Amino acid sequence: MAALVLPAGILVLLLLVAPLLLLFRISLNLFSPTEMMVEATTAANYFQAVQDPYYRQVLLTTLAVALGSTLLTLGLGFPAAYWLARMQGRAKSFFTILVIFPLLVGNVVRAAGWLALLGNGGAINAALLGLGIVAAPLPLLYNTGAVVAGIVAVVLPYMILTLSAVIEGIPRQAEEAAANLGAKPLAVFRRVVLPLALPGVVAGCVLVFVLCMNTYASAVLLGGPQFKMMAPAVYDQFVRGNNWPFGAALAFILLGFTLVLTVAGSAVLSRRYRR
């Protein structure tokens, strides 16, 4: 058994653990405008990131957008997942393919589609102007709403597929029994479906939250240059500023917050599920 696991373990170490260790080592170095990076062992980059009001605001914006997008995705995804899980026959296969299909398109392409939809000369503003509802194009782009819409469109299939897989395992008889005992549809959902689907809710929220925290294309293309999240900030430090130590520190701060919040949220939901 160990001989079968060993090759996969070595591959994980080489592709995942080793780059993270190298990135952490870089984060402990110092930046020099002339030498780019001076070897050192200091946490100055972490202290600088935490003490800088700009990066604190960037982190808070990232957390707010990620949490809001996750909750919105859960609200939109649960009804669709329930409907898909209870579907029968060929129609289920067809709609499952429709849910998976957006995953075949890159995030940049989908963000470009939102640009064509929400821009001043986009489809929505063109329709509103043509109908005479507005006199000037609405500012639908380069704001938090546009970023959230783009992120939700990216992560929604993951939530639907995760939840539908769990809801399929909930027997219909449980819902029918509750209804026969006089429970209203909302009570059936709250007392029967939701508790049994909670493992899927936990898994879906964790997956979606991690993706939202690390979003790049939607934040850059739909938020504009003034809208900053952590992933674009890390990219700016590496590529535009050539400040690899500080960029690596920002990357680990993002990783740490994502990990802590994911574990804490999973623990709270899991404890409620056990109860």
| 101 part of a folded domain | yes
**pTM (global) more than 0.85:** yes
Q: Are 192 and 174 in contact (CB under 8 A)?
A: yes
| 6 part of a folded domain | no
Total count of domains within the chain: 1
| 57 part of a folded domain | no
Nearest alpha carbon to residue 86 among 186, 163, 158, 154: 163
Q: Are 245 and 28 in contact (CB under 8 A)?
A: yes
E strand map for the chain: 30-32, 36-38
The pLDDT score that the predictor gives to residue 272 is: 64
Host domain of residue 73: 64-226
| 260 part of a folded domain | no
| 94 part of a folded domain | yes
Instruction: Return averaged pLDDT per consecutive 10 residues of the chain, 275 residues in all.
Output: 73 81 90 82 90 93 94 94 88 88 85 86 86 85 91 94 91 85 84 86 90 91 88 91 91 90 77 63
| 16 part of a folded domain | no
User: What residues contact 272, with CB distance under 8 A and at least 6 apart?
Assistant: 198
| 81 part of a folded domain | yes
The pLDDT score that the predictor gives to residue 253 is: 92
CATH of the domain at 207: 1.10.3720.10
The pLDDT score that the predictor gives to residue 70 is: 95
Q: 59-76: string of b/e by CB count within 10 Å (b at 16+)?
A: bebbbebbbbbbebbbee
The pLDDT score that the predictor gives to residue 254 is: 92
| 2 part of a folded domain | no
